[in-house]
Chains A and B, each alone.
Chain A
Amino acid sequence: MSATTDNTALITAEMVDLDVQATTKDEATRHLAELLVATGRVSDLDGFLADVRAREAQMATGLEGGIGIPHCRSEHVTVPTVGFGKSADGVDYGAADGPAHLIFLIAAPAGADSDHMKILAALARRLVRQEFKDNLRAASDPAAVADYIRTEVTP
């Protein structure tokens, strides 16, 4: 996990937006998905968003503590990737205690091997650690955020 240009890294600076302006979860998810399309991680924006919505329809992905984790396994994803956004006003992802300020768009390829899944599993585990969330809330530089997340999930 070295350069930010690595085209298999879980996240790079281009996939981070620390000032998401969207106000609905559909808009916010679409905005982050566009970042993944721009970096070549998602091949078909609308197909991918449909897969995310299908997952979202099963059960809202908002979590207590201001977290939203829209996610899916999709044929339109080429590499396991996470897009990260911060919203000052918050976006409602259906959590009981209010809108999400930290949004993780987790994209998994449909047939990912277990090594890839381990990275996503490691990311998911970090999401329930207070320290991890606090550090991200405090972060102000997209490159630093991407580096931090990559370092954390490296086995």
Chain B
Amino acid sequence: MKFVAVTSCPTGIAHTYMAAESLEQSAAAAGHEIVVETQGAGGAERIDPATIAAADAVIFAADVEVQARERFAGKPTVTSGVKGAINNGPALIAQAEEAARSAPVAATAPAGAPAAAGAGGGGPELASKVQDGDSWGTKFRQWLMTGVSYLIPFVAAGGLLIALGFALNTIAVGDQGYLVTEAPPVTEQFSVTSLSDWAALCFQIGGLAFSFLVPVLAGFIAFAMADRPGIAPGFAAGAVAVAVNAGFLGGIIGGLLAGAIVMWLKKAKLPFALAGVWTVVAIPLIASFAAGGVMFLILGKPIAAAMEAMTSWLEGLSGANMVLLGVILGLMMAFDMGGPVNKVAYFFAVGSLTTALDSGTTTGLQIMAAVMAAGMTPPLALALAAAVRPKLFTPSEQQNGKAAWLMGASFITEGAIPFAASDPLRVIPSLMAGSAVAGGLVMAFGSELQAPHGGIFVVPFISNPWLYLVAIAAGTAISAALVIALKSTKRAETQLVQAETAAGIPATV
């Protein structure tokens, strides 16, 4: 057989080379070929990619992080410390033989193609937050967090471009002319000298980037569960969730469904000759069909029906009590931060806005203003909480907290998702309370907004802008205070509840 190996130790002057020598001797003694890359103090000469592609298995004998590990992705892999390689090279070579045999696809598939699951199957090229050996509850959270971590760049790029489009268009045409949402496609009309055309360009790129949100979420949830074979079925299930208006929650369910199906399919024991085709072609095909089919035929309709019911209920409310409506819309905006409930509230507001603009009434303008304020407070509140009490948050949450200022200011409620996904029971209720206050206050102040997006950038164009900012500040302060208070309570208790809640979910798919 042909093996490649990387050896690496803390000082890089002794063990690295001893391990390399030991592996070379052991491989030669067992009649195998091996090429070792010594990542030591003298610098490493990289193994030729063609050699890696031809290798049957990879051995990592390393006590420090292997550099450029992704070059070996998809290969059957054996891992040990340097001392393991020095003291018992033959055993490591035997393990590599075993790994190569139990994952035969790697020998025939092109370089970088996913290996079948086997003893020590190769790690994925893309980073996943999933670690082996965790409980189901922890794994469930890691799956969601992996999906969300790939979602965030789409939210940032798409959402900010949309907001920029609104802001530029407002500067360009003010209250006159068409809204950026109604601009003709830039393929038909674009002049470099027209600011409103640039606004339309931003808006339309942003809209397309935004349209990936749910598929990306679903695709990378499935990836976290089942490695690369999960990506295509996950994306497909997420796209179906969009098509049936199942939104964010639909994407989560679709991703979990696709991931579970792929996990199950990967367990199949197949004849040697079929293994390559199975991972690269059959699993994506079967799992995409199954997950997409279930989303289309079974799970999609109930979610869509629930959303329709909610919309008509809200329409009934808008005549009676505007403050109560603001509170309810606020609760909805924060409930799933960009998910179906949030989108029901948002699209209800956009619909009311359109009606108001057409008929010259103001009710719809107030609803739009309330919904935007309520959608801005969740990321702002978490940014504030993370800035005030960083110790209650993980390092990555603290980073996300900095980005959340901009997200919140830009009316991208999704900026709160990383926090909510990792600690839903404490974060979501806190956010709902603050958004409810913000929504209710905006209604009480009677602020009016004529654009369906824009965040802080369109506040100057809102009536009663200072009171509007007061409403946002109040909601932000309340949510931040609640998050801090709840996160300071006993940790163990909540984690237990989370684990129980989460443990039931994989079983249902």
Interface of A toward B, CB cutoff 8 Å = 55, 58-59, 61, 63-64, 69, 71-73, 96, 106, 108, 112, 114, 117-118, 120-122, 124-129
Given A114-B42, A129-B21, 20 additional A-B pairs, CB 8 A: A55-B10, A59-B10, A59-B83, A63-B18, A64-B87, A69-B14, A106-B13, A108-B41, A114-B43, A117-B41, A117-B42, A117-B43, A122-B17, A124-B17, A124-B18, A125-B18, A125-B20, A127-B18, A127-B21, A128-B18
How far is it, in angstroms, between the C-alpha of A118 and the C-alpha of B11 when the chains are bound? Answer: 14
Contact indicator A128/B38 (Cβ below 8 Å): no
Most buried by B among A58, A69, A124, A127: A124
Contact indicator A124/B43 (Cβ below 8 Å): no
Residues of chain A contacted by B63 (CB below 8 angstroms): 59
Contact indicator B14/A106 (Cβ below 8 Å): yes
- Any A CB within 8 A of the CB of B22: yes
Residues of chain A contacted by B40 (CB below 8 angstroms): 117, 121
How far is it, in angstroms, between the C-alpha of A125 and the C-alpha of B38 when the chains are bound? Answer: 11
Residues of chain A contacted by B398 (CB below 8 angstroms): none
- Any A CB within 8 A of the CB of B228: no
Considering the complex, give the chain B residue whose CB is closest to the CB of A63: B86
Instruction: Select B13's contact among A59, A63, A108, A129, beta carbons within 8 Å.
Output: A108
Residues of chain B contacted by A69 (CB below 8 angstroms): 14-15
Q: How many residues of B contact A (CB 8 A)?
A: 22
Smallest CB-CB A-B distances: 3 pairs: A117-B42, A124-B17, A125-B21
Considering the complex, give the chain B residue whose CB is closest to the CB of A61: B14
A121-B42, A124-B16, A125-B17 are contacts. A71–B25 as well, Cβ < 8 Å?
no
Name the interface residues of B68-107: CB closer than 8 Å to any CB of A. Answer: 83, 86-87
Residues of chain B contacted by A59 (CB below 8 angstroms): 10, 63, 83
11 interchain pairs, CB-CB under 8 A: A55-B10, A59-B10, A64-B86, A106-B13, A121-B17, A124-B14, A124-B17, A124-B21, A125-B17, A126-B21, A127-B18
Considering the complex, give the chain B residue whose CB is closest to the CB of A126: B21
Cβ of A103 to closest chain B Cβ, rounded Å: 13
A108-B41, A114-B42 are contacts. A128–B13 as well, Cβ < 8 Å?
no
How far is it, in angstroms, between the C-alpha of A23 and the C-alpha of B63 when the chains are bound? Answer: 29
Considering the complex, give the chain A residue whose CB is closest to the CB of B41: A117
Name the interface residues of B1-57: CB closer than 8 Å to any CB of A. Answer: 10-18, 20-22, 25, 38, 40-43
Residues of chain A contacted by B42 (CB below 8 angstroms): 114, 117-118, 120-121
Considering the complex, give the chain B residue whose CB is closest to the CB of A106: B14
Contact indicator A71/B86 (Cβ below 8 Å): no
Contact indicator A128/B41 (Cβ below 8 Å): no
Considering the complex, give the chain A residue whose CB is closest to the CB of B25: A128
Considering the complex, give the chain A residue whose CB is closest to the CB of B15: A124
Residues of chain A contacted by B86 (CB below 8 angstroms): 63-64, 128
Considering the complex, give the chain A residue whose CB is closest to the CB of B63: A59
A124-B13, A128-B25 are contacts. A73–B41 as well, Cβ < 8 Å?
yes
A127-B18, A128-B18, A129-B21 are contacts. A121–B38 as well, Cβ < 8 Å?
yes
How far is it, in angstroms, between the C-alpha of A124 and the C-alpha of B41 when the chains are bound? Answer: 13
Instruction: Select A58's contact among B10, B13, B25, B87, beta carbons within 8 Å.
Output: B10
Residues of chain A contacted by B87 (CB below 8 angstroms): 63-64, 96
Residues of chain A contacted by B12 (CB below 8 angstroms): 73
How far is it, in angstroms, between the C-alpha of A127 and the C-alpha of B21 when the chains are bound? Answer: 9
Considering the complex, give the chain A residue whose CB is closest to the CB of B85: A128
How far is it, in angstroms, between the C-alpha of A122 and the C-alpha of B16 when the chains are bound? Answer: 11
Cβ of A2 to closest chain B Cβ, rounded Å: 24
How far is it, in angstroms, between the C-alpha of A63 and the C-alpha of B16 when the chains are bound? Answer: 13
A59-B63, A125-B21, A128-B25 are contacts. A71–B11 as well, Cβ < 8 Å?
yes
How far is it, in angstroms, between the C-alpha of A85 and the C-alpha of B18 when the chains are bound? Answer: 19
Name the interface residues of B238-261: CB closer than 8 Å to any CB of A. Answer: none
Residues of chain B contacted by A61 (CB below 8 angstroms): 14
How far is it, in angstroms, between the C-alpha of A71 and the C-alpha of B17 when the chains are bound? Answer: 13
Considering the complex, give the chain B residue whose CB is closest to the CB of A118: B42
How far is it, in angstroms, between the C-alpha of A6 and the C-alpha of B87 when the chains are bound? Answer: 34
How far is it, in angstroms, between the C-alpha of A121 and the C-alpha of B24 when the chains are bound? Answer: 14
Contact indicator B11/A73 (Cβ below 8 Å): yes
A63-B83, A64-B87, A128-B22 are contacts. A72–B41 as well, Cβ < 8 Å?
no
Considering the complex, give the chain A residue whose CB is closest to the CB of B81: A59
Cβ of B325 to closest chain A Cβ, rounded Å: 63
Considering the complex, give the chain B residue whose CB is closest to the CB of A117: B42
Instruction: Select B11's contact among A55, A63, A125, beta carbons within 8 Å.
Output: A55
Contact indicator B21/A128 (Cβ below 8 Å): yes
How far is it, in angstroms, between the C-alpha of A72 and the C-alpha of B10 when the chains are bound? Answer: 10
Residues of chain B contacted by A106 (CB below 8 angstroms): 13-14
